[in-house]
Amino acid sequence: MAMNGNTTHQTPANDNFADAAVITGVSGQAAASNVGATKEPGEPDHAGCSGGNSVWWTWTAPETGYFSFDTHGSSFDTLLGVYAGSDIENLTVVADSDDDGSGNGNSGLMFQAESGVRYYIAVDGWSSGDIVLNWRPAEPPENDNFADAITLTGMSGQAAGSNNLFNLPHCLLVANPYTFSTFAQFFILRVVCRYLLKV
């Protein structure tokens, strides 16, 4: 049981890492709640943020390839992390996400899974509520690899694309928006453009 003010909530069955709920298949959807959930000693900060109301799933990749996981449809601002490892104090981050830009504080990420490898998925948040966890096969951007870099030409121009490089934790953006958001993106983009375009 967990206390929230004067209200007592039943702790979710998958509150602890050791009790992670099993999900299967190349795609699917799981519904849950993190009301009454807690954060275990030694548990990592998901997407670099403290959270405090995490629940866990475990998924064994049925095939090798890119997969996406998201919390679209959840009722609160979520944090999402995917990990490899069997000890909560020694997990390896595979991918993580705070806000993915889809709205409502939902999280989303993509990673390359290896067939037969067991992954752990944590959903935490700035508060608690109903969780919708979705997963499906995904396609990486066409210029995901160095060898497939898209050539930019001309003295000026515009290129559109999408990745998770600048999906920085919201807690960092709130703490220091200029250092972690505007300046970091501009500086890295400027370095890349100067190298590629030599301007």
Confidence band, pLDDT 50/70/90 cuts, at residue 197 = very low
76 and 156 in a single domain? The answer is: no
Collect contacts of 8-17 with beta carbons under 8 A, ≥24 apart: 9/35, 9/36, 10/36, 11/36, 11/37, 11/38, 12/36, 12/37, 12/55, 14/55, 14/56, 14/57, 15/54, 15/55, 15/56, 16/40, 16/56, 17/43, 17/56, 17/88, 17/120
Three-class DSSP category at 81: strand
What is the CATH number for 25? Answer: 2.60.120.380
Give me the pLDDT at residue 88, please.
97
Tens digit of each residue's pLDDT (9 = 90 or more) over 23-54 = 999 999 999 999 999 999 999 999 999 999 99
Domain extent, residue 70, equals 2-137
125 and 157 in a single domain? The answer is: no
Length of the chain: 199
